[in-house]
């Protein structure tokens, strides 16, 4: 390690003294102006991680659904997964080291992790369409090169595409070709083959309206659409030519405001969906004949997918287990439907994709989705091999089911939740089953719910247990919440510190919207009073 060079280059990526940032749920996020030193240092860290794992590591520059002025960065581990937790801690320490401590912290990480400095390092880099992203990704490259790492800069990519590239590169091309074209071809081929099986069930030409949040999803879908146009035509809105990234549009806006994005013309009963700013989340929606808006969120996506997979798995009859993983935000109706009607086991983990992903890997087939639309399905290697073998050997119904599963495996991005891949899976399932968005939506009715935010002096005063469903500290808060919940029917509420914003999040659901709002408000007040609220007290009707 040329520590002199590290320090010398660091002066042109100087850390504003005193600035402290955390590697949060999905990496660092802040106003883009505060991130130059973070990018340089994550370049350094990616090299150490690459040497340690003897694998390619990814660095993605994006702040997902955050406002355009923000940016962020996260590292991608060898199998396309989120960075290991112990390295998140290294990332935070390295990011916050003052200039004079940088060398010491870097050496500390390298020695503590027994990194072989002679080992080669390779880092792949991607970025979203934010105006700040290009310059920030140059700073990552500076960090990589100063430690002697090799790199490939993919330029503009969706976050899941970079996960895919990392996974391909570390599995010797078996998963797919590590190029954008390789990604388009792999997914489109699987999609077109799957939907061919639908043509026997009276196929009409399928079309879908897509709100791209004025982000990278628009660019990539434009490039990709001719690959799958035989099966689906997409009409793009908020494609970045006019509007501002994530502003009044995108999956996060639609889910949290439960209304359509600006800039999209919706006729009644047309199927529409929204991506977020880096295209790793998707939600669906439509307007009914009375003009009423209906949201089809990640929970309903998980239900559609797991029900389809469960039927195919029972058709091939190999006693393969399927599990669904959700978080506390999953609508109570979805959990009840999955467990009681579909008889599928459901598990709850903490918020954040890494937790869901990890749990889903315990099953032969693990479907995970957050209510906000981030998710995918994972197939164990043994299941994949079995299915491919059956698909090759059999011509009967079992063989047909195996062929469909084979295509589904190829169509899902197994490295990360992916709006483009999920969209194609959903469109294929709807086509094969001959379902409209309304029929899909009618599987169950969501319980009315409300999410609020409360500002507190220090959000770390709230700690939780039981997959964030119960509060441990401050003492007494859980008892108050439990008493409030008892006042309503079909009710549930929980609070947790956000991993991406300096706030406490409050979630409540109940038998009516009025009751859900009132419960959310009461719980917000309790948080404000018992957890050191600052600023204005929550008032009824306040929609944080």
Residue positions forming the annotated binding site for substrate: 370-372, 496-500, 505
The answer to the question of residue 280 lying near Mg ion (CB under 5 A) is yes
297 binds, among Mg ion, ligand 16G, none (CB under 5 to 8 A by kind): none
Our CB check for ligand 16G shows the closer of 307 and 327 to be: 327
Count of Cβ atoms closer than 10 Å to residue 539 Cβ: 9
Count the site residues for ligand 16G by CB under 6 A: 14
Give the DSSP H or E segment for 286.
strand 282-287
Count of Cβ atoms closer than 10 Å to residue 4 Cβ: 9
The answer to the question of residue 276 lying near ligand 16G (CB under 6 A) is no
Say which residue the tokens 């999920």 belong to. 422
- Binding to Mg ion (CB under 5 A): which residues in 39-98? 64
Residue 50 burial by Cβ neighbours in a 10 Å radius (0-12, 13-18, 19+): buried
Instruction: Give the number of C-alpha atoms closer than 13 A to the C-alpha of residue 377, restricted to the C-beta side.
Output: 33
- Binding to ligand 16G (CB under 6 A): which residues in 23-42? 25-26
Our CB check for Mg ion shows the closer of 276 and 422 to be: 276
Q: Which stretch binds Mg ion (CB under 5 A): 272-280, 313-321, 451-459, 521-529?
A: 272-280
Our CB check for ligand 16G shows the closer of 240 and 352 to be: 352
Q: Which of 374, 450, 455, 521 binds ligand 16G (CB under 6 A)?
A: 374
Q: Choosing from 17, 50, 55, 64, which is the catalytic residue?
A: 64
CA distance 357 to 493: 24
Q: How far is the CB of 225 from ligand 16G (least distance, A)?
A: 25
Report which of 441, 461, 430, 450 is spatially closest to residue 531, judged by C-alpha positions.
461
Our CB check for Mg ion shows the closer of 81 and 276 to be: 276
133 binds, among Mg ion, ligand 16G, none (CB under 5 to 8 A by kind): none
Q: Which stretch binds ligand 16G (CB under 6 A): 204-212, 298-306, 369-377, 447-455?
A: 369-377
The answer to the question of residue 499 lying near ligand 16G (CB under 6 A) is yes
State both tokens at 223: 């490039």
Task: For 22-136, list the strands marked E by DSSP.
Answer: 28-31, 56-61, 70-76, 122-127
Q: How far is CA 185 from the centre of its chain?
A: 22
Count of Cβ atoms closer than 10 Å to residue 345 Cβ: 13
- Give me the helices (H) in 175-215, please: 180-196
Our CB check for ligand 16G shows the closer of 249 and 387 to be: 249
Q: Which of 195, 306, 372, 413 binds ligand 16G (CB under 6 A)?
A: 372
- 291 — alpha (psi -120 to 50), left (phi > 0) or beta? left
The answer to the question of residue 501 lying near ligand 16G (CB under 6 A) is yes
278 binds, among Mg ion, ligand 16G, none (CB under 5 to 8 A by kind): Mg ion
Q: Report the residue number whose CB is nearest to Mg ion.
A: 64
464 binds, among ligand 16G, Mg ion, none (CB under 5 to 8 A by kind): none
CA distance 538 to 438: 36
User: Is 380 designated active site?
Assistant: no
The answer to the question of residue 413 lying near ligand 16G (CB under 6 A) is no
In which order are the strands placed within the sheet that holds 346-349?
Answer: 346-349, 322-327, 365-369, 375-379
As annotated, the active-site residues are: 64
């Amino acid at each position: 390690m040329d520590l002199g060079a590290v320090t010398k280059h660091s002066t042109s990526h100087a850390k504003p003294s005193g600035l402290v940032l955390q590697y949060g749920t999905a990496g660092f996020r802040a106003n883009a102006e505060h991130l130059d030193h973070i990018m340089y240092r994550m370049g350094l860290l990616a090299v150490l991680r690459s040497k340690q794992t003897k694998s390619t590591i990814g660095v993605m520059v994006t702040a997902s659904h955050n406002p355009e002025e923000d940016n962020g960065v996260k590292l991608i581990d060898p199998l396309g997964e989120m960075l290991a937790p112990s390295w998140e801690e290294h990332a935070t320490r390295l990011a916050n080291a003052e200039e004079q401590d940088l060398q010491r912290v870097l050496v500390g990480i390298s020695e503590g992790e027994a990194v072989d400095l002679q080992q080669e390092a390779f880092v792949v880099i991607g970025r979203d369409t934010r105006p700040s992203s290009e310059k920030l990704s140059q700073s990552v490259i500076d960090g990589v090169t100063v430690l002697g790492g090799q790199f490939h800069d993919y330029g503009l990519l969706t976050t899941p595409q970079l996960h895919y590239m990392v996974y391909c590169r570390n599995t010797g091309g078996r998963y797919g070709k590590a190029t954008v074209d390789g990604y388009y071809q792999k997914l489109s081929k699987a999609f077109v083959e799957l939907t061919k099986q639908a043509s026997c069930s009276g196929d009409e030409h399928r079309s879908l309206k897509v709100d791209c949040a004025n982000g990278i999803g628009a660019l990539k879908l434009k490039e990709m659409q001719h690959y799958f146009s035989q099966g689906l035509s997409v009409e793009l809105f908020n494609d970045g030519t006019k509007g501002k990234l994530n502003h009044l549009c995108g999956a996060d806006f639609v889910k949290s405001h439960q209304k359509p994005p600006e800039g999209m013309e919706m006729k009644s009963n047309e199927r529409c969906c929204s991506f977020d700013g880096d295209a790793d989340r998707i939600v669906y929606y439509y307007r009914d004949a009375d003009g009423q808006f209906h949201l089809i969120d990640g929970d309903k996506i998980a239900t559609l997918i797991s029900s389809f997979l469960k039927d195919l798995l029972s058709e091939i009859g190999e006693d393969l287990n399927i599990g669904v993983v959700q978080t506390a935000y999953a609508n109570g109706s979805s959990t009840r439907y999955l467990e009681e009607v579909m008889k599928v086991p459901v598990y709850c983990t903490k918020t954040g994709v890494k937790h869901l992903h990890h749990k889903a890997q315990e099953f032969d087939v693990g479907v995970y989705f957050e209510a906000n639309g981030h998710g995918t399905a994972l197939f164990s290697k043994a299941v994949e091999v079995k299915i491919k073998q059956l698909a090759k050997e059999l011509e009967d119904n079992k063989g047909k089911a195996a062929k469909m599963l084979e295509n589904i495996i190829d169509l899902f991005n197994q490295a990360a939740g992916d709006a483009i891949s999920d969209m194609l899976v959903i469109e294929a399932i709807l086509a094969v089953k001959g379902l409209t968005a309304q029929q899909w939506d009618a599987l169950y009715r969501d319980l009315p719910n409300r999410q609020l935010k409360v500002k507190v002096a220090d959000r770390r005063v709230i700690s939780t247990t039981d997959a964030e469903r119960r509060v441990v500290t401050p003492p007494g808060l859980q008892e108050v919440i439990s008493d409030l919940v008892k006042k309503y029917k079909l009710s549930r509420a929980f609070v947790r510190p956000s991993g991406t914003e300096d706030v406490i999040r409050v979630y409540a659901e109940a038998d009516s919207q009025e009751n859900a709002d009132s419960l959310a408000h009461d719980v917000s007040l309790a948080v404000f009073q018992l957890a050191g609220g600052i600023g204005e007290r929550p008032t009824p009707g306040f929609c944080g």
